[in-house]
Amino acid sequence: MAFTTLPFLVFFAILFVLYYLPTWIPFLKGKGVQKWLILIANLVFYAWASPYFLIFLGASSLLVYGASLLFGRIDKKTELACASLERAEKKLAKEKAGKKKKGILILALLLVLLLLIVPKYASFFLENLNAILGAFGVETDFKVSLILPLGLSFYTFQNIGYLVNVYWGKYPPQKNYFLYLTYISYFPHVLQGPLDEYEELFPALCEEHEFCREKAEKGLLRVLWGLFKKWAVATQIGLLISPYLSGETEALGLTVVLCAVGYAVQMYADFSGYMDIAIGCSNMLGIPLAENFDAPYFSTGVAEYWRRWHITLGAWFRSYVYYPLMRSKGLSALRKCLKKHKYLASVLPTSLALALVWLCIGFWHGADWAYVLHGVYHGLFVISASVLEPLYSAYHKKFPKLTASVPYRIFCIVRTFAIVCFGYLLFATGDISLSFTLIGNLFAEGGAAQISALFVGNEYVFFSAGLGIVLMLVVDVVYELTKKKEKKGFKSWQIYLLWILLGIAILLFGAYSEADASQFLYFQF
């Protein structure tokens, strides 16, 4: 049930009415009916794709729920036991409990990750195994074809985040499984995120929310803006570049550049458009979701770009991969060995941790070497920025006027966008051989003629996408110029601006029947 379809519109309209109905009926008010309505809506929404997908969702959440309860029981048992023990005995009891909890954590994480790895990566691993054995003269044809449940990567990460935080003692385990399932399966974020932290989202899910006209209006506006991004920009650009990115038509020279830039804009419009719809729908129910984008194409460096693109994914990897690696015994020992060399002691462990993080990010996006290389590509820029930080700082100190100037900032933004666009040539195809073909064709002749031929018959598509990009750019520029003064969200003047822009868009674009706009690009990840 994609957000851009009529079934979802009907589904959400029914939920919206039923959701606020208990607050208007005296004997239902304050009885916690809303959170159970959300759970039912979550399950209906997710099962709409396939009831089979509920098996993975249920198994993953049950594993984490059970493990978290075990943590709670061990902590409680240890606390009771320590009340009558001496100091030395208390220490031994806590160490024993810690080892038991760590064993449960490792086992639970392995099982949860197995539920992700098998359907998502089994085919990839078998294909590579066939290739390796073939290189040694052993011909094999191992194959497996499994359906990848929608949103599996996202709710797996949410499960892991919750479990690790309970293990760390950040908050107590949730004793009611169905309430925990409500958080994990919350329909606006279950398929593509954002990856909201349990302590931030769960309380809002359990609270009773009175109807608020202002929140409903802002939420509706956000939904309309997301639909506009999807239909007017992402879908229209997809019509132009998808034949080249799928290998159906060979792209040459400037057409490869058009594909790279076009895909960058398409991905942003598509993914941020989805987030606008998800956040807007959730806001209409009075439940805030984390922001996932912060005008990323205005970044002046790759590291900054990733702090502004898919923000919650970056935060997840920092919290549950990068920081634990930096605190690990191996990297701690490495820092001690290099303590006489302060620069190396700082840079080398950080670089190793970042390398592993970006390798994981690459694999997380998909089961193909193209995604892995895309992660490594961006990782190299981030690691390089970390290694060269002293030089950058010295350069900024030596030329403060230059580095603070608007032309220099524009140069940095254009440079970063070019780096990102080139990286998308690895990412957009999902096929390493096709990606290398596109890169190899960057300097081939015939691109200008291809683009001219592409324009003929597609004037409406070019116009639609072009005007849509201009409207998106206006909103992002205004936000970028004012965000230091205002918190994230739509203020009164922004609301009027967006209503005007959407009114223009509706008059100009009408219905988008030229392509299937029901699916979002990020569903595949």
Instruction: Note the pLDDT tens digit of each residue in 324-359.
Output: 999 999 998 988 898 888 888 889 999 999 999 999
In this predicted structure, the answer to whether residue 65 has a pLDDT above a threshold of 70 is yes
Question: For the residues 109-133, what does the mean pLDDT come to?
Answer: 90
What's the confidence (pLDDT) of residue 512?
43
236 CB contacts (<8 Å, ≥6 apart)? 461, 464, 465, 468, 512, 514, 515
Across the chain, what does the average pLDDT equal? 87
Q: In this predicted model, what pLDDT tens digit does every residue of 284-310 receive, in sequence order?
A: 999 999 999 988 999 999 999 999 999
User: Residue 499 — pLDDT band, cuts 50, 70, 90?
Assistant: low
CA distance 251 to 244: 6
Residue 490 identity (one-letter amino acid) = F
pTM, two decimal places? 0.89
In this predicted structure, the answer to whether residue 490 has a pLDDT above a threshold of 60 is no
Strand, helix or coil for residue 519: coil
What's the confidence (pLDDT) of residue 30?
75
What's the confidence (pLDDT) of residue 500?
65
Report yes or no: 142 and 126 within 8 Å, Cβ to Cβ. yes
Helix H or strand E segment including 499? helix 492-509
How many C-beta neighbours within 10 Å does residue 185 have? 24
What's the confidence (pLDDT) of residue 511?
43
User: Residue 514 — pLDDT band, cuts 50, 70, 90?
Assistant: very low
What's the confidence (pLDDT) of residue 506?
55
What's the confidence (pLDDT) of residue 309?
94
Q: Which residue pairs from 237-245 have beta carbons closer than 8 angstroms and sit at least 24 positions apart in sequence? A: 237/262, 237/263, 237/265, 237/266, 237/269, 237/465, 238/266, 238/515, 239/458, 239/461, 239/514, 239/515, 240/454, 240/458, 240/461, 240/462, 240/465, 241/266, 244/438, 245/428, 245/429, 245/434, 245/438
In this predicted structure, the answer to whether residue 510 has a pLDDT above a threshold of 60 is no
User: Residue 513 — pLDDT band, cuts 50, 70, 90?
Assistant: very low
In this predicted structure, the answer to whether residue 187 has a pLDDT above a threshold of 90 is yes
